[in-house]
Amino acid sequence: MAKVNKKSEQSKLIGEHPTSGVFFDWFECEDTPTTAEKKHRKLTNKGLASGAIVDYLSDRILKHHATSLQLARIEQKKKILEKHDFTDYMEGRVPFPIKSATTQKGNLGEIILGEYLSASTGLELLVYKLHYNPNIEQSMKGDDILLFEKDNIQSNIIMGEAKFRTTKSKQALDDIVSSLLTKNLPISLTFVCNRLEEMGAVDLSNEIDDLISNIHKSKTPITYVGFYHSDINVYKTIEKHLKSENENLVVISFGEDNPAKLVKDSFAEALKMIMD
């Protein structure tokens, strides 16, 4: 009889690692042995060329920071203005951080986490919160990401927290864990509800409004996911120090040799896509 592979505790919460697409091409995945206090999914680059990664991430930077109407307006201005005039027009209008490396690092972590979990779970980011940032050079308040089962809003919600550190540290891991305690409920549901209403998705907005009550009554399960992007050995910090009483918490690590360069190159390419 063929051996049946047992689903890992991580996969029960955040789905199996994608078997096709960019995340399959990009990441080698290992669901490390679990304990009562540790569920860790380790991601490393399996060899996808840096150019392909930057192309993917720069596209997602635009997607998460600007609406299709904003991007269309920029393209229209690009066609009717001379290069110098277009550069002047874009002063202060670039829809993502170009000055704050700290904000870039945080935003890219949120983007990778949101896109990865969408691929592994099938849940959706109903609202791209970075579309609504009043100060693009500063991080937004609220939950880093919230994902929903669009066809059954009450069934499940994923709440995510992303951290970036050029060099791994236990403190950043501790910050992730403390942000994702079972007592910590999503604080951005009203924001999502209001944005959906503005978008004309009234039925979805009403379902999120109902979800707010269910969350507080513990009727809708929450999956908590931390994402730690750092150096190639970040997984060692998680394996050694991850301790949480939250049974529904998974921490995903993404370690690479030069994480800051990936952030810098991805935002530089996104800027080039806007300006050229």
Per-residue confidence of the chain (276 residues) as pLDDT tens digits?
A: 445 568 999 999 999 999 999 999 999 999 999 999 999 999 999 999 999 999 999 999 999 999 999 999 999 999 999 888 999 999 999 999 999 999 999 999 999 999 999 999 999 999 999 999 999 999 999 999 999 999 999 999 999 999 999 999 999 999 999 999 999 999 999 999 999 999 999 999 999 999 998 898 888 999 999 999 999 999 999 999 999 999 999 999 999 999 999 999 999 999 999 999
Q: Sheet with 157-164: list strands edge to edge.
A: 27-31, 40-45, 249-256, 222-231, 157-164, 145-148
- pTM for the model: 0.95
Per-residue burial over 136-173, b = 16 or more CB atoms within 10 Å of its CB, e = otherwise: beebbeebbbbbbbeeebbebbbbbbbbbbeebbeebb
- CA 139, CA 133: separation in Å to the nearest integer? 8
Output 70-74 pairs: Cβ under 8 A, ≥24 positions apart.
Answer: 70/95, 74/274
Question: Is 27 in a helix, a strand, or coil?
Answer: strand
For residues 16, 121, 253, 219, the Cα torsion angle rounded to the nearest 10 degrees is -120
Do residues 250 and 31 make contact, with C-beta atoms less than 8 angstroms apart?
no
Residue 216 has a pLDDT of: 85
What values do phi and psi take at 153, rounded to 5? Answer: -55, -35
Do residues 253 and 238 make contact, with C-beta atoms less than 8 angstroms apart?
yes
Domain ranges of the chain: 19-275
